[in-house]
Structure 1
């Protein structure tokens, strides 16, 4: 660090909090999206207040479902998977509250402004394709939900 570097102000900010929705297919894949400004795929998410209560979190999950699911699809039952650390591109940590739901017969919205991919939970994704917080923390947590004795879908 040079003397000129020490005079630069460090950008400080409080961690942001996001709610993310992990939609699982019958083939044990998770839906990932990539918005126009992003380089990697991640879970559909939305920002919430850092001190949001349970009602606000559930409202955010319901809003995410409305964005992702076709209009004639009923709201899915979701379960809280956990809170994960999610570093932003500058290395600052944010919080990601992840909810999981099985898609089953529900249909996805066809007209969306982002790319979608299905990532298998049982095999590693291509390098640098998925946001590291998702790949290293959340996908293993989702994979732990899969019953290895369950018959695979045809």
Structure 2
């Protein structure tokens, strides 16, 4: 089961200048809970946006750069290769960025999307979800509060 996991605004904004444009602690906790113990597949820029590799996860970084190496991570040059290397994991996650999400829409089985209620200026966007290919199977709304400046909804889609 290959799952895309992302947080995107109502205008599909993901981030700007290689960073998120909101801070949602509950979403970070959910991301950690879902992805811990699994392979996380990502583009190089997404990986480089982390201060350090995320604990208890196998990092598979997709890059066009032949000379790219970082200790403790697996480097590949295609999404197909990243998926192959994650075959022993029953639940690998694709965690970004925009280009990788776009490619993954054709091969993923599930999307775990946190829809942030607002529109944001961004330079990276999540692809449109084609309702002819994806079925919404679960949603859970969260109001904004003292820890969350924006309301958000957890949405789970499965391939039809």
Q: What range is the shorter-chain TM-score in?
A: under 0.3
Higher-Rg structure is 1
Query: Taking structure 2 as the reference length, what is the TM-score of the superposition?
Result: 0.26
| Structure with greater strand share of residues | 2
Query: Taking structure 1 as the reference length, what is the TM-score of the superposition?
Result: 0.27
